[in-house]
Structure 1
């Protein structure tokens, strides 16, 4: 059924993680509506969804730059991406 794409466990984990984050944000939005808008260090007024999008987009760029400039393993950009995501939800 899904033979058109080479599904691997890391690919499945990525999609499960993204959809879980979206589900968690939806759950939080139902419990505490309003999106928790705030103005962060980048000068943007953002909601939780905006911060998730910025974190995912930045993480993608971190991994693409890592893959473009080096052949080393992906543990370092994973750590950088987690730090970036934490920064986005904490300060952006």
Structure 2
């Protein structure tokens, strides 16, 4: 018997948003190719690099909220979105 993944609405929304971000970044890269630059991160990065770093660090923000606080994950989401915006703009 094959076990199928049970998609919940939040899971589907999460993957749809990630897919939309990747699609938008791909279109943006084709329209306006970027060059590596050095912001406040200690390495030279492209937009894609900063997006990847932002997504991974946002996952760690959520894990820290789950493990260390009793606060709502909506706060973690807000912090993650702000962090991702800062990282993409000035990272």
Is the shorter-chain TM-score for this pair beyond 0.5, marking a shared fold?
yes
Q: Distance in 1 between matches of 2:41 and 2:30?
A: 27
What does residue 25 of structure 2 align with? 25
- Structure 2 gaps of 5+ residues are none
- Give the superposed CA RMSD: 1.3
Aligned residues: 89
Runs (4+) of structure 1 exceeding 4 A deviation are: none
Q: Distance in 1 between matches of 2:5 and 2:69?
A: 26
What does residue 55 of structure 2 align with? 56
- TM-score, structure 1 as length reference: 0.88
Q: Which of 56-65 and 35-44 deviates more?
A: 35-44
- Structure 1 gaps of 5+ residues are none
- How far residue 39 of structure 1 moved from its aligned partner, in angstroms, is 0.3
- TM-score, structure 2 as length reference: 0.88
What does residue 36 of structure 1 align with? 35
Q: Which of 53-62 and 67-76 deviates more?
A: 67-76
What does residue 76 of structure 1 align with? 75
